[in-house]
Amino acid sequence: MILDGIEIAEKIGDYVQKKVAELKNSVVPSLTCVVSSNDKSTRVYLNSIKKNCDKFGINYAERSVNAEDILSEIDKLNTDRNVHGIMIMHPLPKEIDEFKVLSSVNPEKDVEGRTPQNLGMLLMGRPYFAPCTAQAVLEMLKYYEIQLRGKEVTIVGRSTTVGKPLSLLLLSEDATVTVCHSKTKDLVDKVKNADVVIAAVGKPKMFDASWFKDGEIVIDVGINVVDGKIVGDVDFDSVSKKVSVSKVPGGVGNVTSAILMRNVVNVAEMMCRR
Ligand code: NAP
């Protein structure tokens, strides 16, 4: 089976479209990206977010900031009733303290689920906004009715945006979760002995078919650019002949983008009702 993210993203998109239409007479949902660097990959990402916002009629704005004004700019966005979602573009330049910056974002507008407050809620088993990519993986597994209770799930990658929050979401689904990283011993065994594997490493085609046994489910979170083409952490051509695997592109990334839009309209609706 190929796990397709496009279908799920379209369903979420239908919801977003409906909400934007419902709110039309009261408010236009809006997302503001706080930008502190102008590197090429940040620009590519910003363009794709803008395109998605335009598609749904969500207002898109950017604030260029530096180390001196980033906190005061975030403060303004936090209290601006016309701003519903705030995204802090990362990586931040090294002179900016990421923890301090993320801590300063109003958790109610933290549509990416990256603030310490929202990560704390997730840890307590009461997620408000979970990090979008982690949420996207869970929604893909649920969409394809992959049972998680009592299952062995191996996550390769322990970042704060993907691996760690995903481990908490999956624990809440009663999975038994193993989180692996670059210092993990016997990674091959941990991957092969799982029922479900999540690859979130950032190494193009690191996992070929020899890593998996029949019947495993593989979700590929990786987005890597090789010779101008996007590839995952999983070698899709060989792995898809052996086990069920998600596509890249057309997989987790599409669902993640749709969830971001859904979070923005949900904040707009919540603020509108106050
Ligand atoms: P990251 O912060 O660089 O984390 C990578 C993780 O992989 C780290 O925990 C690292 O271990 C581990 N790792 C690296 N090499 C390894 C190896 N040989 N064996 C085992 N573990 C290894 O990356 P990220 O932000 O989580 O992103 C991971 C991938 O997902 C990237 O390709 C990124 O582009 C993609 N991504 C996709 C989406 C989406 O929406 N689809 C969103 C975010 C990210 P250590 O902790 O020990 O260094």
Note the pLDDT tens digit of each residue in 141-151.
Answer: 999 999 999 99
Give yes or no for a contact between 234 and 248, defined as CB atoms under 8 angstroms apart: yes
Predicted pLDDT at 219: 98
Q: Strand 152-156's sheet: what is its strand order? A: 2-3, 244-246, 217-220, 196-199, 152-156, 176-180
Backbone angles phi, psi at 155, to 5 degrees: -105, 125
**Which whole number is the average pLDDT over 54-78?**
98
* Alpha carbon distance 244, 2 (integer Å): 6
Query: What's the one-letter identity of residue 43?
Result: R
Provide the mean pLDDT of the chain: 97
Nearest of 186, 188, 183 to residue 209 by alpha carbon: 188
Give the Å distance between the CA of 210 and the centre of ligand 1: 21
The confidence score (pLDDT) of residue 190 equals 98
20-106 under CATH 3.20.20.80, yes or no: no
3-state SS assignment for residue 254: helix
Distance 207 CA to ligand 1 centre (A): 13
Ligand 1 centre to CA of 160 (Å) is 10
- For residue 146, give the nearest of 217, 49, 201, 249 by alpha carbon: 217
Task: Give the residue range(s) of CATH 3.40.50.720 domains in the chain.
Answer: 132-252
Give me the pLDDT at residue 81, please. Answer: 96
pLDDT of residue 249: 96
Q: Which protein residue's CA is at the shortest distance from atom 19 of ligand 1?
A: 182
- Whether 256 and 8 have beta carbons less than 8 Å apart is answered as no
The pLDDT score that the predictor gives to residue 126 is 94
CATH superfamily of 132-252: NAD(P)-binding Rossmann-like Domain (3.40.50.720)
pLDDT higher than threshold 90 for residue 246: yes
**Residues above pLDDT 90, as percent of the chain:** 96
CA gap 251, 122 in Å, rounded: 24
Strands 229-231 and 224-226: antiparallel
Ligand 1: centre distance to CA 244 (Å): 21
pLDDT surpassing 90 at residue 39: no
Cα-only R_g, the chain? 19
Structure tokens at 200: 């979130």
Phi and psi based region of residue 134 (left: phi greater than 0; alpha: psi -120 to 50; beta: remaining): alpha
Sign of CA dihedral 53, 59, 64, 65: negative
Quickly count: other Cβ atoms within 10 Å of residue 160's Cβ: 14
| pLDDT recorded at residue 38 | 84
d(CA 186, ligand 1 centre) in Å: 18
pLDDT over 90 (residue 248): yes
pLDDT one-digit tens code per residue, 146-184: 999 999 999 999 999 999 999 999 999 999 999 999 999
Q: Candidates 201, 221, 229: which one to mutate for ligand 1, based on the most atoms within 8 Å of Cβ?
A: 201
Where do the CATH 3.40.50.10860 domains begin and end in the chain? 20-106
Binned at pLDDT 50, 70 and 90, residue 137 comes out as: very high
Q: Which of 188, 223, 255 to mutate to test the pocket of ligand 1 (most atoms within 8 A of CB)?
A: 223
Query: How does residue 63 score in pLDDT terms, banded at 50, 70 and 90?
Result: very high
Read off the pLDDT of each residue in 28-56 and give the average, rounded to a whole number. 95
Answer for the pair 216, 194: CB distance below 8 angstroms, yes or no: yes
Read off the pLDDT of residues 205-217 as tens digits, 9 standing for 90 and up.
Answer: 999 999 999 999 9
Q: What is the DSSP letter of 191?
A: H
Closest CA to 74 of 109, 50, 47, 122: 109
Quick one: which atom of ligand 1 is closest to the CA of 232? 32
Percent of the chain predicted with pLDDT > 70: 100
**Could you give the dihedral angle defined by the CA atoms of residues 210, 215, 219 and 224, in that order, rounded to the nearest 10 degrees?**
20
pLDDT tens digits along 67-108: 999 999 999 999 999 999 999 999 999 999 999 999 999 999
For the CA atoms of 99, 100, 103, 106, the dihedral, rounded to the nearest 10 degrees, stands at -130
Q: Is the pLDDT reported for residue 41 higher than 90?
A: no
Q: What is the pLDDT of residues 26-36, one digit of tens each?
A: 999 999 999 99
